[in-house]
Amino acid sequence: MLGQFITLEGTEGAGKSTNLTFIKEWLENKGVELIVTREPGGTEIGEAIREVLLNKDYTAMQAETELLLMFAARAQHLQEKILPAIKQGKWVVSDRFTDATYAYQGAARGMSFERIAEIENWVQQGFYPNTTFIFDLPIEIGMARVASRGGETDRFEQEKHDFFEKVRSAYLQRASMAPERYAVLDASQSLENVQQSIVNRLEEMMQSMEKTA
């Protein structure tokens, strides 16, 4: 049986990292064999591309360059890591995937959704996540969380409030178009409530797999 592909999306400071760890531990406790990964990155080549994309000194990077680099890292990620794991029956949990490209490079950078879809079809060949968790949070709360962490911000985290409002709106719009794939979580709730919603969705996935086994 093929494995499952779960992705986590959201604006900065929405709690993806914390909940990624929670999902990993919950699935492992259920005996699920899985790998955890991220985008951009996930492979040696992808991580090298990530360093370029997040480098705050590269202020001259064009939106087209950013888009192509994202998909270059994704193509490597899919062929080297994600698809082989799923064919082996493993679950793959990724911090971001193509929804982020539509939100960040599409809605926020102004790249054509049609152009993104063309490259997506070429790179992914109809492959999509089984479930995408979207951690939704008012932008001001998310940015306050990022600021409270301290340390340097990357090229994306330095963007303005309006940029992230466009990102947030794009995520919610995509979720409304395919509600069967997306689980939108109110990340302003208590962590306990958010994680209970995650568990509910994961249990649904496991029950569905048992029925089709």
With cut-offs at 50, 70 and 90, classify the pLDDT of residue 190.
Answer: very high
Which contacts (CB < 8 Å, 24+ apart) does range 184-187 have?
184/134, 184/136, 185/133, 185/134, 185/135, 185/136, 186/136, 186/137, 187/10, 187/14, 187/15, 187/135, 187/136, 187/137
Can you name the residues that pair with 182 across neighbouring β-strands?
132
pLDDT at position 212 over 80: no
166 is in which domain, residue-wise? 5-212
Which pTM value belongs to this model? Answer: 0.94
Is the pLDDT assigned to residue 148 strictly greater than 70? yes
Mean pLDDT, residues 138-153: 86
As a whole number of angstroms, the distance between CA 128 and CA 6 comes to 9
Q: What value does the mean pLDDT take over residues 180-195?
A: 96
CATH number assigned to the domain comprising residue 9 = 3.40.50.300
Condensed to tens digits (0 to 9), the pLDDT of residues 116-136 reads 999 999 999 999 999 999 999
Query: Bridge-partner residues for 37, per DSSP?
Result: 94
CA 142/CA 14 separation, integer angstroms: 6
Under the banding of pLDDT at 50, 70 and 90, the label for residue 213 is low
- 3-state SS track over the chain: CCCCEEEEEECCCCCHHHHHHHHHHHHHHCCCCEEEEECCCCCHHHHHHHHHHHCCCCCCCCHHHHHHHHHHHHHHHHHHHHHHHHHCCCEEEEECCHHHHHHHHHHHCCCCHHHHHHHHHHHHCCCCCCEEEEEECCHHHHHHHHHHHCCCCCCCCCCCHHHHHHHHHHHHHHHHHCCCCEEEEECCCCHHHHHHHHHHHHHHHHHHHHHHC
pLDDT at position 159 is 87
**Average of per-residue pLDDT values in the chain:** 95
pLDDT at 195: 98
The 10s digit of each residue's pLDDT in 39-82 is 999 999 999 999 999 999 999 999 999 999 999 999 999 999 99
Q: Peptide bond before 179: cis, by omega within 30 degrees of 0?
A: no
Domain count, the chain: 1
- The arithmetic mean of pLDDT across residues 86-94, rounded, is 97
